[in-house]
């Protein structure tokens, strides 16, 4: 199931769920199960397996570890976490999960729709 499927779903449901465009929601749903590094606005970087994502780009990670454990020892025991979308600064993506052509197409479609 690819990005195009989710964009189709979006166009089908767009009116119902507020007409929001959701390129990145679809993209992150395709990324479920992959290892990502999420960098927060407070500079904490957490690496883990993407468990799920929602329309706000809230993220749930599993098997997490903090990248700089010496600086954040209080995070040592955190193995699963929910991250509020608004505190995310970056998500480092695995290169094998980036299909550039698909992203370009989806972006152009999104730009037309918006």
Partner 1 sequence: MASEEESAVKEPLDLIRLSLDERIYVKLRSDRELRGKLHAYDQHLNMILGDVEEVITTVEIDDETYEEILRSTKRTIPFLFVRGDGVILVSPPLRTA
For partner 1, the binding residues (CB under 8 A) are 21, 23-24, 27, 41, 57, 85-86, 88-95, 98, 100, 103-104, 106-108, 110-111, 114
Phi and psi (nearest 5°) for 66? Answer: -80, 135
**CB closer to partner 1, 77 vs 96:** 96
In three-state secondary structure terms, 102 is: helix
Nearest approach, Cβ of 78 to partner 1 (angstroms)? 21
Please give the Cα distance from 73 to 83 (Å, whole number): 18
Nearest approach, Cβ of 62 to partner 1 (angstroms)? 19
Please give the Cα distance from 19 to 58 (Å, whole number): 19
**CB closer to partner 1, 52 vs 92:** 92
């Amino acid at each position: 199931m690819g990005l195009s499927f989710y964009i189709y779903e979006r166009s089908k449901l767009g009116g119902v769920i507020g007409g929001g465009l959701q390129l990145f929601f679809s993209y992150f749903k395709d990324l479920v199960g992959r290892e990502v590094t999420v960098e927060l606005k407070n500079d904490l970087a957490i690496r883990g397996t993407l468990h799920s994502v929602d329309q706000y780009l809230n993220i749930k990670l599993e098997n997490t570890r903090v990248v700089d454990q010496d600086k954040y020892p209080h995070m040592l025991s955190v193995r699963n976490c929910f991250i509020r979308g608004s505190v995310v600064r970056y998500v480092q993506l695995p290169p094998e999960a980036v299909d550039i052509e698909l992203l370009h197409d989806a972006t152009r479609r999104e730009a037309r729709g918006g």
